[in-house]
Amino acid sequence: MTEPAVVHLARRRDTTRLGADIAHALEPGDLVLLSGDLGAGKTFLARAIARARGVPEDIAIASPTFTLVQEYETPRGTLLHVDLYRLRDEADRARTVNDVRRLGLDERRAEGAILLVEWGEGLESELGGAASLSVSMKLDADGRSATLTGERRFGPSG
């Protein structure tokens, strides 16, 4: 594990740049967990990663809030953008686990797809095991930031 790295995201373009840095370091089968409150910038960052992996501008990158999973074929392999918010039931973990398992994302990952997952914390087993990178996004009085913890170096310093 790398030491957590904090990146300040004062402007959207900082997040776009972080997305490009992460995209550059991604390898087949990687799992990226994007955490943080509603509106913290998870989807914005996922979109930046997807664009930098080669999803062309004429293909819209919608939030997977309602579809749960959005799939993109890129020149560098399959990318799955996932939002598990609607499946999370804090009162019924067994149900959440079942619902997530049914999506078969662990298998897709084993086949080499890269997973970008919003609201996936605590569901790593159903997502094929430990995250390659966790990005914790925050919006508070100090502004926006992302804290990166990876199994190897991602982002601006690596």
Binding residues for ligand ATP, rule: CB under 6 A, are 9, 11-12, 14-15, 36, 38-44, 63, 65, 83, 118, 144
Interface with Mg ion, residue 43, by CB under 5 A: yes
68 vs 107, which CB is nearer to Mg ion?
68
**Contact set for Mg ion, span 12-31 (CB under 5 A):** none
94 vs 141, which CB is nearer to ligand ATP?
141
If you write DSSP's letter for every residue of 82-145 in order, what string do you get?
Answer: EE-GGG--TT-HHHHHHHHHHTTHHHHHHTT-EEEEET-TT-GGGGTSS-SEEEEEEEETTEEE
Residue 61 tokens read as 């990158």
Which of 73, 71, 98 has the alpha carbon at shortest distance from 87?
98
Interface with Mg ion, residue 53, by CB under 5 A: no
Interface with Mg ion by CB under 5 A: which residues?
A: 42-43, 63, 118
